[in-house]
Structure 1
Amino acid sequence: MKNNVSNSTKLILLHPSYLQKQANSNRLWLLAFISFLTLAFLLTLIYTRESISSTTPTAVTASTPPLSSAVVRALLQYASNSNSTDRMSYTDIKQISDALRQCSQPCHFLVFGLTHETLLWKALNHNGRTVFIDENRYYAAYIEEKYPEIEAYDVHYSTKLSEMPELIAAAKEQVQNECRPVQNLLFSECKLGLNDLPNQLYEVDWDVILVDGPRGYWPEAPGRMAAIFTAAVLARSKKGGNPKTHVFVHDFNMEVDRATSDEFLCRENLVKSKDMMGHFVLERMDANPSHFCRHSSSSSSSSSS
């Protein structure tokens, strides 16, 4: 038996090169398998992130209800409950709040001036877009850093309060050219038109505009002539959305603000003047109007109080 076993046994020798090829082949298969798993993981991750980013905001926005009347009343009460002279009265705040609540969602709200009420405006328009414009670049940057949810931009005003009569006269002379009631102010050379705002802001159909800045209490201050003129043009130049725009002018009791509003927002559009707030409702105009107001600013008009 032993001889038979020995005679039938065969010795098989493997050449080293064969072993090397076999090892290399195994490595290639392993590398290919790992690469396939990695690619599959990356594709799954990218698809998942895109799905989340494309669906989550819409779902959140759609499910966010408007503020209840009780919450709005509480916000207004606490915001106006102060003896400070730089805060709006309850009556003034409520006028703006009512306009925002009547606005179709999402509401586009433009505010000239960063004030004590900044966070209130953002809260009252929580389903819409609220943009703030201020002449102080450092304060605008500070507010955005402290409150990341606030969208604020700084703008340079080249006007002076003492120049108000000359600026209004020049705008009236150029009413059919650079200072037209309907235009894209980004390309305008009108002295009262603000043309250095972010480009995309000129394309927004603003539903509510509040002029509560810049400062205008001494001759060298910029005054609110440019802000009022710009608000008047933006409201009349809307391309879509609601054809009407609510424009509010705070400190409407000031002579300069009232005179500028008479020229460009127009008395026939004044629906209410109470406390320190003037409330105008402007309608979208045709492409080539020749005037801001249908009637002269010297005409008398009634305002409710």
Structure 2
Amino acid sequence: MKGSTKLILLHPSIHKHGGGAGGATHRLWLFLFASFFTFAFIFSLVTTRDTNSAAAATSSGAKSSADALPKPVFNALLHYAATSNSTSAGGRLSSAELKSVAAVLRRCATPCNFLVFGLTHETLLWNSLNLRGKTIFVDESSYLISKIEEKHPEIEAYDVQFTTKVSDLKSLIAHSRSEIRNECKPVQNLLFSDCKLGINDLPNHIYEVAWDVILVDGPRGYFPGAPGRTAAIFTAAVLSRSKRGAAAETHVFVHEFDREVERICSDEFLCRDNLVESVDSLGHFVLGKMDSNSFEFCPNSSSSSSGSPLSRSSS
């Protein structure tokens, strides 16, 4: 019995060889499978992100283009406004005056910040031509402000109680000169100023805007008891001199520039050296920022010294 017994041995190397080959192959396929899906996932993620970025950029560009007033529409609005204002009767800007202001608005490298003194026949035009930018109107009449807001809620307008008068021109100029280093200096925050010529009761944010274009077409100034535009011109000059931001220049337009108050105050605070264009009764000035230690509105002109404009007005 003992001699017939057989012993069967399984060599471990045989089992290891067969199992190792199958396991390695399995692991290889598993690695390849996982690698493929990992690559596919990453590729899909990157592609989707790039596609979304491109779509966002396209959408942003399309939105920017949509927000901008197309040039044909801009020109059409200006054309019909100019046609209806073929003469400057009734205080309206003439065709040439309209085109002068519109040309500057059109050239703005970025959306314009446009401040307008006076609610006029051109109010809706200005708000439309500066569609992409900020346009704010300031007027002496709270009634007109409420009416324009009721009919056109998209327009931002504020009323101001002017304390100046056309007949006070000489005393106001004298006051500004006596306070040139204090309350009436050319670089300051008018919100905290007690200068008689400065407008300091507007909403705070108006004093923080870097205005690119300012149009002085109000308040009334055609009779001695009218508020006149002394305060508006002085305020425009200070806002321009005290401007913040990268853009260093501000375009200031003064309508009815041929009248005494407008001419003298423009000479005094905007300066003849800065007059770049005169179209009909519209004066166009370009003002640069000033250092906070400056105490002359017109350092390169004789208009702010010794009172030459006042001597002209007294003749």
CA distance in 2: counterparts of 1:152 and 1:241, whole angstroms:
26
Secondary structure of residue in 2 paired with 1:226:
helix
Matching residue's letter, 1:79: A
- Specify the alignment match of 1:95 in structure 2: 100
- Specify the alignment match of 1:44 in structure 2: none
Cα separation, partners in 2 of 1:263 and 1:69, compared to 1, 3 Å: same
- Specify the alignment match of 2:73 in structure 1: 71
Percent identity, aligned pairs only, is 59
User: Is residue 80–residue 87 contact of structure 1 (8 Å, CA) maintained in 2?
Assistant: no
TM-score with structure 1 setting the length = 0.76
Q: Which of 218, 236, 241 is equivalent to 2:223?
A: 218
TM superposition outliers: structure 1 runs of 4+ over 4 Å? 57-61
Q: Which of 108, 133, 139 is equivalent to 2:138?
A: 133
Secondary structure of residue in 2 paired with 1:131:
strand
Q: Which of 279, 292, 302 is equivalent to 1:296?
A: 302
CA distance in 2: counterparts of 1:62 and 1:85, whole angstroms:
38
CA distance in 2: counterparts of 1:210 and 1:63, whole angstroms:
27
Cα displacement (A) at 1:71: 2.3
Cα displacement (A) at 1:173: 1.1
CA distance in 2: counterparts of 1:139 and 1:153, whole angstroms:
10
Secondary structure of residue in 2 paired with 1:186:
helix
Matching residue's letter, 2:98: I
- Specify the alignment match of 1:85 in structure 2: 90
- Specify the alignment match of 2:191 in structure 1: 186
Cα separation, partners in 2 of 1:73 and 1:288, compared to 1, 3 Å: same
Cα separation, partners in 2 of 1:86 and 1:66, compared to 1, 3 Å: same
CA distance in 2: counterparts of 1:90 and 1:105, whole angstroms:
25
Deviations 1:98-144, CA, capped at 9 Å, x for gaps? 11111122210000000000000001100001000000011101101
CA distance in 1: counterparts of 2:91 and 2:122, whole angstroms:
10
CA distance in 2: counterparts of 1:145 and 1:59, whole angstroms:
33
User: Is residue 250–residue 276 contact of structure 1 (8 Å, CA) maintained in 2?
Assistant: yes
Q: Structure 2 stretches of 5 or more lacking a match? A: 1-58, 310-315
CA distance in 1: counterparts of 2:60 and 2:184, whole angstroms:
40
Cα displacement (A) at 1:269: 0.4
Cα displacement (A) at 1:240: 0.6
Matching residue's letter, 1:145: E
RMSD over aligned CA atoms reads 1.8
User: Is residue 67–residue 131 contact of structure 2 (8 Å, CA) maintained in 1?
Assistant: no
User: Is residue 136–residue 154 contact of structure 1 (8 Å, CA) maintained in 2?
Assistant: yes
Cα separation, partners in 2 of 1:122 and 1:219, compared to 1, 3 Å: same
1:16-165 alignment runs, 5 A limit: 62-64=64-66, 66-82=68-84, 84-165=89-170
User: Is residue 118–residue 218 contact of structure 2 (8 Å, CA) maintained in 1?
Assistant: yes
User: Is residue 166–residue 226 contact of structure 2 (8 Å, CA) maintained in 1?
Assistant: yes
CA distance in 2: counterparts of 1:113 and 1:85, whole angstroms:
14
Cα displacement (A) at 1:67: 2.9
User: Is residue 61–residue 127 contact of structure 1 (8 Å, CA) maintained in 2?
Assistant: no
Cα displacement (A) at 1:78: 1.2
Q: Which of 192, 197, 200 is equivalent to 2:202?
A: 197
Matching residue's letter, 1:252: F
User: Is residue 211–residue 250 contact of structure 1 (8 Å, CA) maintained in 2?
Assistant: yes
Matching residue's letter, 1:143: I
Matching residue's letter, 2:123: T
Q: Structure 1 stretches of 5 or more lacking a match? A: 1-56, 300-305
TM-score with structure 2 setting the length = 0.74
Larger helix proportion of the pair: 2
CA distance in 1: counterparts of 2:106 and 2:182, whole angstroms:
37
CA distance in 2: counterparts of 1:258 and 1:177, whole angstroms:
24
User: Is residue 211–residue 240 contact of structure 2 (8 Å, CA) maintained in 1?
Assistant: yes
